[in-house]
């Protein structure tokens, strides 16, 4: 697996110019656009499409973080978001409310701390158990976690209510203020993005990437391989928990089917669409996924070929299949390829004989 965000090589470039890379400029511009969006975007677009995009983006970014820096493709991230959601639900719903679950009736912010604490502990235990494997084994074990987790919440009804916990209110700061929640999610997305990139260049992150590339060598150098993996998984689990908290606030309810195998795969699909090796791709993939979910029905002709939103999963499956066949690095990989192609076109000295079309054909591998 190639690296996504390894430190760029030492050159004459100063720290400032390195910060001004094309990648960072695009990310800052996108974040600025997202922050200004409520000024001109429609309510539906901001409060529904983009809010959902941000939630899924944060959750998918945890998959990307583990895959790109740790070489671990995790399917347990949606479960961990769900754990946080269930904990918030159990903690905040008041005793006299017409709902189910434990109904502890706590302060919503205390509930958040509690939910994140539980999620982090669960993530550490699951991560420690899975941390001695990587690659395909890790994928299988985390998929098993996800499905067992679904059955745990599905069958232990005191924790999940029969058919879920309803009436979960966000704290007063966000209640009846969907735009505030959206803005908070944008800020959180930016923080998560920066945090993951910063972690990647800390000694811990560098060791993690070393472990991704050669665990045996890192072990012989004295690094605790499984501990690094388990801690990375814990960090990702905590972050997935953040997404889960916002998800349950946004939905107002949570039930076991919302963490079943379907949504679990959806989250992986989001990461795959964006590209499992590119952090930015997580949010890009989330946007494509949510937009497809909401706007596909509006496309002309779609009804005539028998593809309706009722068959959304078929379309998403086809999309993933296509991406995996054409470019396993997802949209980010495609964008990267196009960019490199364009740069080659531009750098082609004039009068060298090759027309742009020939240059493009020549650059194809």
Note the residues at the interface with another protein (CB under 8 A).
73, 129-133, 135-137, 139-141, 143-144, 147-148, 151-152, 155-157, 215-216, 219-220, 225-226, 260-262, 265, 268-269, 272, 310-314, 316-318, 320-321, 324-325, 328
* CA quadruple 352, 354, 356, 359: dihedral sign: negative
Q: How far is the CB of 77 from another protein (least distance, A)?
A: 15
94 vs 318, beta carbon nearer another protein: 318
Q: What is the DSSP string of 282-328?
A: HHHHHHHHHHHHHHGGGSTTTTTTT--GGGHHHHHHHHHHHHHHH-T
125 vs 179, beta carbon nearer another protein: 125
Q: How far is the CB of 216 from another protein (least distance, A)?
A: 6
35 vs 302, beta carbon nearer another protein: 302
Q: What span, in angstroms and rounded, lies between the C-alpha atoms of 361 and 225? A: 44
219 vs 342, beta carbon nearer another protein: 219
Q: Tabulate helix, strand, coil % of the chain (nearest 5).
A: 75, 0, 25
158 vs 172, beta carbon nearer another protein: 158
Contact 249, 170 (CB under 8 A): yes
Q: How far is the CB of 129 from another protein (least distance, A)?
A: 5
Q: How far is the CB of 95 from another protein (least distance, A)?
A: 22
31 vs 320, beta carbon nearer another protein: 320
CB atoms inside a 10 Å sphere around CB 96 = 8
Q: How far is the CB of 353 from another protein (least distance, A)?
A: 36
19 vs 324, beta carbon nearer another protein: 324
Q: How far is the CB of 145 from another protein (least distance, A)?
A: 8
Contact 348, 356 (CB under 8 A): yes
- The owner of tokens 């945090």 is 195
Q: How far is the CB of 171 from another protein (least distance, A)?
A: 32
Q: How far apart are the first and last CA of the chain?
A: 19
Cα separation values, 193 from 149, 239, 278, Å:
27, 11, 11
3-state secondary structure at position 95 = coil
132 vs 180, beta carbon nearer another protein: 132
| Dihedral-angle region of residue 175 (phi above 0 means left; psi in -120 to 50 means alpha; beta otherwise) | beta
Sequence-distant (≥ 6) Cβ neighbours of residue 235 within 8 angstroms: 65, 199
Contact 279, 299 (CB under 8 A): no
Q: What is the DSSP letter of 47?
A: I
Q: How far is the CB of 219 from another protein (least distance, A)?
A: 4
């Amino acid at each position: 697996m190639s690296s996504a965000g390894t430190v760029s090589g030492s050159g004459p470039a100063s720290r400032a110019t390195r910060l001004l890379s094309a990648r960072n400029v695009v990310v800052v511009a996108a974040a600025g656009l997202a922050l200004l969006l409520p000024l001109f975007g429609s309510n539906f677009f901001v409060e529904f499409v983009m809010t959902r995009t941000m939630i899924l983006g944060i959750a998918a970014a945890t998959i990307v973080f583990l895959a790109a820096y740790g070489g671990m493709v995790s399917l347990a991230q949606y479960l961990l978001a769900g754990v946080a959601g269930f904990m918030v639900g159990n903690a905040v719903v008041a005793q006299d409310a017409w709902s189910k679950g434990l109904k502890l009736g706590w302060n919503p912010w205390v509930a958040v701390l509690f939910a994140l604490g539980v999620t982090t502990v669960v993530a550490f235990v699951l991560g420690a158990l899975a941390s001695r494997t990587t690659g395909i084994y890790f994928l299988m074990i985390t998929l098993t976690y996800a499905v067992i987790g679904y059955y745990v919440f599905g069958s232990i009804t005191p924790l999940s209510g029969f058919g879920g916990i309803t009436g979960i209110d966000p704290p007063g700061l966000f209640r009846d203020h969907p735009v505030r929640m959206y803005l908070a999610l944008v800020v959180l997305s930016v923080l998560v993005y920066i945090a993951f990139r910063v972690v990647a260049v800390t000694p811990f992150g560098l060791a993690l990437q070393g472990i991704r590339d050669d665990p045996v060598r890192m072990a012989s150098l004295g690094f605790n391989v499984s501990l690094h993996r388990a801690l990375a998984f814990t960090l990702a689990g905590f972050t997935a928990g953040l997404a889960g908290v916002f998800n349950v606030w946004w939905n107002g309810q949570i039930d076991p089917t919302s963490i079943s195998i379907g949504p679990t795969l959806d989250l992986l699909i989001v990461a795959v669409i964006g590209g499992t090796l590119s952090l930015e791709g997580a949010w890009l993939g989330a946007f494509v996924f949510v937009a497809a979910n909401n706007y596909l029905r509006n496309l002309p002709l779609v009804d005539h070929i028998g593809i309706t939103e009722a068959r959304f999963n078929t379309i998403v499956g086809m999309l993933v299949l296509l991406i995996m066949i054409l470019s396993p690095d997802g949209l980010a990989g495609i964008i990267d390829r196009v960019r490199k192609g364009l740069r080659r076109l531009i750098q082609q000295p004039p009068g060298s004989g090759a027309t742009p079309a020939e240059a493009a054909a020549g650059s194809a591998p």
